[in-house]
Amino acid sequence: MAVSLIDFGIQEALQQLGIELHNKGTSTGSTWYSSEEEITSFSPVDGKLIAEVESTSIDDYEKVIETAAEAYKLWRVQPAPLRGDIVRQFGEALRKLKEPLGKLVSYEMGKSYQEGLGEVQEMIDICDFAVGLSRQLHGFTMHSERPGHRMYEQYHPLGIVGIISAFNFPVAVWAWNTALAWICGDVCVWKPSEKTPLCGIACQHIIAKVLRDNQLPEGISCLINGNYKVGEMMTTDKRIPLISATGSTRMGKIVAATVGQRLGKSLLELGGNNAIIVTPDADIKMTVIGAVFGAVGTAGQRCTSTRRLIIHEDVYDAVKNAVVDAYKQLKIGNPLDENNHVGPLIDTDAVNGYKNALQKVVDQGGNIIVEGGVLSGDGYESGCYVKPAIAEANNSFEIVQHETFAPVLYLLKYSGSVENAIDIQNGVAQGLSSAIMTNNLREAELFLSHVGSDCGIANVNIGTSGAEIGGAFGGEKETGGGRESGSDAWKVYMRRQTNTINYTTELPLAQGIKFDL
């Protein structure tokens, strides 16, 4: 494994996370398998090769699934509070390793160091949530129509949960799934993005040590690496009842069709095309803060990034000018330097997508008011740094209808009532996150009503990104309909069962049917 030398302590971070030359492939905890095929991890920060990571072969995959299935037999019979205590220990380990893991996330993915630390904090938070939940996996009791009978519902673990995560949140999304799946009694097999494989290896080291220290089977947490072909091994595998996949809508449709064909379950977190509505009663200062952070945070590579700003004509110029002025203050550069606001895109393919989007908005009649462009020269050698751009556009533009995973913000003007703005906001195929900026109670309540936002997340006077783990996370329409993290999202990792107990000496039949023997 070749690790690049930079001035931000990456080598030290890797050492703290236990990443060594021989730990770079497929893992069932403490056991690592090697393969002839490799994927390479380049940092978008400086363009240097971080590591060559071995892909999972078919033989390796079979060993992982067999190990996971065997571990499940023991894990499922452990009391849920005991499983919760293992998750608690995992959270404590993350607390100790928050800085090196956050640094690796920043360097391998390209998000700011503050965001890297924040992502690890999300992992810690979901562990805390899951620990409490491990004592609350409740069912329901209902009255039977038959005398002397008791009827209730309970939940049982599914088995092996397959997790396919994306590069933009290389560790948190895995934790959202595993922390809940583990306390539910499931075991997990994780395929991280091939663009951020080291983050997956680091997490596997952390949980593997917790499992060893508690003399628990390593198959409770498994890691596989590779491209979409490795993902296909999971989606077509009948031994994996649930596939949780995060990524593009295109990818999600393939996963849903493949898993559905074998009547498996899928939890999908897909694309977003998120908007903030700005009414005449909005606080402009708050609007600018929410819009700018939402549009440029993680260089626009969040599924909850703000793509569209829908502004009433009465305040359009004031809001536009304030946002443009704020963009002039943005600092773009190495994300490990905390003075910078915006880091790089993940790779040059993402840069090409960004450039194509800007060209399309012009071709389709839009007006670029904050020029974009690719940065070059000292500090930008990777070729992945771009300028956040703003364009005046129309919601009907083909490019506006699609998600561009880059810092491109579209300004859309509306007139009349807030219902017109809601129609514009809902007028896209995606339905993840949405927000309205207003001090008008009627507008806020209408936005949150059944005739308001059609998204899975709807906020008032905060932006579209920054969801808390306590609420269920996910969206509607082409966002996939999945829900992760808080609320009762744990139920997707379990199977539901209705039970009826007859404690009499008679056996009455339903609908009064007589069957005498």
Report pLDDT for 35. 66
Whole-angstrom Cα distance, residue 466 to residue 400?
Answer: 22
- Measured CA to CA, the distance from residue 210 to residue 204 in angstroms comes to 10
The pLDDT of residue 517 is above 80: no
Q: What percent of the chain has pLDDT over 90?
A: 90
The CATH number assigned to the domain with range 10-269+487-496 reads 3.40.605.10
* 485-493 average pLDDT score: 97
Distance CA 16, CA 119 (A): 18
pLDDT of 494 reads: 98
pLDDT digits (tens, 9 = 90+) for 208-267: 999 999 999 999 999 999 999 999 999 999 999 999 999 999 999 999 999 999 999 999
DSSP bridge pairs for 191:
164
- 427: buried, middle or exposed (CB in 10 Å: 19+, 13-18, 0-12)? middle
Strand 242-246 and strand 221-223: pairing?
Answer: unpaired
Is residue 516 scored above 80 in pLDDT?
Answer: no
- Residue 55 has what DSSP assignment? P
User: Where exactly does CATH 3.40.309.10 map onto the chain?
Assistant: 274-472
Q: Which residue type does 66 have?
A: E
Report residue 468 CA to chain centroid gap: 12
Structure tokens at 193: 């993005």
Please identify every residue annotated as catalytic: 269, 303
> Does 2 have pLDDT greater than 50?
no
pLDDT greater than 60 at residue 23 = no
| pLDDT range class, residue 509, cuts 50, 70, 90 | confident
Q: What is the pLDDT of residues 199-208, one digit of tens each?
A: 999 999 999 9
C-alpha 376/C-alpha 492 separation (Å) is: 46
Average pLDDT value over all residues in the chain: 94
Quote the pLDDT of residue 10. Answer: 86
- Of the candidates 341, 366, 371, the residue with the CA atom closest to the CA atom of residue 355: 371
Q: Report angle CA 504, 507, 513 to the nearest 5 degrees.
A: 145
**Predicted TM-score of the model (pTM):** 0.95
Examine the pLDDT at 164 and tell me if it is beyond 60: yes
pLDDT computed for residue 36 by the predictor:
65
Q: Per-residue pLDDT tens for 366-378?
A: 999 999 999 999 9
pLDDT digits (tens, 9 = 90+) for 103-116: 999 999 999 999 99
Is 90 exceeded by the pLDDT of residue 187?
yes
As a whole number of angstroms, the distance between CA 72 and CA 406 comes to 40
CB 281 within 8 A of CB 444: no
The per-residue pLDDT for 5 is 43
Q: What type of residue is 395?
A: N
User: Phi/psi at 295 (nearest 5 deg)?
Assistant: -85, -35
| Segment 306-338, tens digit of pLDDT | 999 999 999 999 999 999 999 999 999 999 999
Torsion of CA 452, 457, 459, 464, to 10 degrees: -120
User: How many percent of the chain have pLDDT more than 70?
Assistant: 95
**Judging by DSSP bridges, how do beta strands 160-164 and 242-246 pair with one another?**
parallel
405-454 pLDDT tens trace: 999 999 999 999 999 999 999 999 999 999 999 999 999 999 999 999 99
Q: Please give the distance of CA 471 from its chain centroid, rounded to a whole number.
A: 14
| pLDDT at res. 18 | 86
- Interval 134-138 mean pLDDT: 96
Task: Give tens-digit pLDDT for 83-107.
Answer: 999 999 999 999 999 999 999 999 9
Residues 6+ apart with CB under 8 A from 159: 69, 72, 186, 187, 239, 240, 241
Tokens standing for 414? 């509306």
Contact between 430 and 478 (Cβ < 8 Å): yes
CATH number for domain 274-472, candidates 3.40.50.10310, 3.40.50.2300, 3.40.50.300, 3.40.309.10: 3.40.309.10
Cβ atoms of 210 and 86 within 8 Å: the answer is: yes
Cα gap 115→342, rounded to integer Å: 11
Element (H or E) spanning 157, and its range?
A: strand 149-157
* 217 Rama class: left (phi>0) / alpha (psi -120 to 50) / beta: beta
Handedness of CA 484, 479, 418, 323 (dihedral sign): positive
Chain segment 247-262, per-residue pLDDT in tens? 999 999 999 999 999 9
Instruction: Give start-end residues of each CATH 3.40.605.10 domain in the chain.
Output: 10-269+487-496
- Cα separation, 411 vs 406, whole angstroms: 15
